Amino acid sequence: MINLFLIINYTLISISFLSFLYLDLKHREVPIRFFKFSYMLGIVINFFEFLLFFDFIVIIILLKIFILIFVFSLSLLLFILKIIGGAEGKLFIFIFFVHPILFLNLTVIFSFFLVFSSFFVFFFIANLMFNKVFGDNFSFVLFFNLNLKLSILKKTYLKSFYKFFDYSDLSDYIEKKYLIKSLNLIYNFKKNKFQILCQIRPPLIMFVILSYYIVFFLK
């Protein structure tokens, strides 16, 4: 019985993940109605899990509530630090809401957030190296020459979290993926193009989903 339940559970979770991932990659936004449906699905999953596999349902419900409060606290911290947005926070809670409590503990939760944080850091280190070696380093040099008061730390931050977008491609600009942070045009002589500074909005939901599968299936 438990194997059948787990198969159904992980199948429904994966279907939800695919919906979230598609919307995130295309729009960097997941409408609230998708989360409402997913949470309703989670209630059904939890109902059958508690009914089929536990005798002391009240204790299990209290334990699940504690886990969700703990996950919410970690998500809120990441949100305050501006590492994640509201959609990622909702997805964190959804994951630990629907995942079988038989396989949940604090070690698993911390491992999940550690893997997610590793994806986040790696993405921006890769962007930093790309900007420095292959990408828009020349534009950054010009930009820094116009802003001489920037510290080394601030410059490193800008190279990690920002990139220069070709002004000629502004018609293809997607606000959900890139956020214009400066209206000053920089002329990149190497590319012979005007460029504008944009903040990168990484596919964080993809990082969340990958972290889930790594922690729960490859451990």
Higher pLDDT, 46 or 175: 46
Average pLDDT, the chain: 82
> What is the distance between the alpha carbons of residues 48 and 194, in angstroms, rounded to a whole number?
59
Give residue 164's pLDDT. Answer: 79
Q: Decide if pLDDT at 127 tops 80.
A: no
Which of helix, strand or coil describes residue 186? Answer: strand
Q: Decide if pLDDT at 50 tops 70.
A: yes
Tens digits of per-residue pLDDT, 147-177?
Answer: 767 787 877 777 777 777 777 766 655 555 6
For the whole prediction, is pTM greater than 0.85?
Answer: no
Give residue 102's pLDDT. Answer: 81
The b-or-e profile of 169-191 (16+ CB within 10 A means b, else e) is eeeeeeeebbeeebeeebebeee
C-alpha distances in angstroms, 148 versus 86, 130, 131, 132, 141?
35, 23, 19, 19, 10
- List, in sequence order, every residue forming a beta bridge with 193; answer none if it has no partner: 188
- Report the candidate in 38, 12, 16 with the shortest Cα–Cα distance to residue 208: 16
Tens digits of per-residue pLDDT, 70-118?
Answer: 999 999 998 998 788 888 899 999 999 998 888 888 888 999 999 999 9
Q: Given the structure tokens 């828009």, which residue do they identify?
A: 136
Per-residue pLDDT averaged across 141-151, rounded? 75
- Take residue 191 and report the two structure tokens written for it: 């590319």
Number of Cβ atoms within 10 Å of the Cβ of 31: 10
Give residue 9's pLDDT. Answer: 84
Q: Decide if pLDDT at 135 tops 60.
A: no
Number of Cβ atoms within 10 Å of the Cβ of 48: 12
